[in-house]
């Protein structure tokens, strides 16, 4: 009977400890967001990015390890027969909570920035 109790205790201990040991860190999945003219808040990996734009664009946010988030922004191609960008069109990307402006200017056809969540922003 003592042997059975020991085996039962060992099994119960294994069942209760195993889920704790097997838990994995939850990593953010890369996401692509369509941004329309106006103000759009995009939450990602515990951070919030605010896009203020006068043109439609696409933003891809990706966790690249450690404490870095890559943001890739692309403006869509102009419909046939239209000019690409009119003067005065703007794009501003701000990092809420850190009061940091990541991009402020004319919307580029393609832009990449790296946000270091523990140290600040780096443009690529």
Return the sign of the alpha-carbon dihedral for residues 98, 101, 107, 111: negative
Task: Tell me what pLDDT residue 88 has.
Answer: 75
Token match 């009061």: residue? 99
Q: What is the pLDDT of residue 65?
A: 81
pLDDT tens digits, 23-46: 556 778 999 999 999 999 999 998
pLDDT at 21: 46
**pLDDT given at position 99:** 80
- Strands laid side by side in the 68-75 sheet: 31-35, 57-63, 68-75, 110-116, 120-123
Cα end-to-end span (Å), the chain: 68
CA distance 91 to 88: 10
Residue 79 has what pLDDT?
53
Which parts of the chain sit beneath pLDDT 50?
20-22, 81
């Amino acid at each position: 009977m003592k042997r059975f109790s020991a085996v039962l205790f060992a099994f119960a201990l294994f069942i209760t400890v195993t889920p704790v040991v097997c838990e994995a860190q939850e990593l953010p999945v890369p996401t692509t967001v369509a941004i329309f003219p106006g103000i759009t808040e995009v939450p990602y990996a515990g951070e919030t990015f605010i896009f203020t734009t006068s043109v439609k664009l696409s933003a891809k946010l990706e966790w690249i390890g450690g404490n870095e988030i890559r943001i890739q922004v692309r403006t869509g191609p102009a419909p046939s027969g239209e000019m690409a960008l009119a003067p005065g069109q703007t794009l501003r990307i701000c990092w809420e909570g850190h009061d940091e402006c990541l991009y402020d200017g004319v919307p580029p056809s393609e832009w990449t920035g790296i946000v270091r969540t523990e140290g600040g922003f780096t443009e690529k």
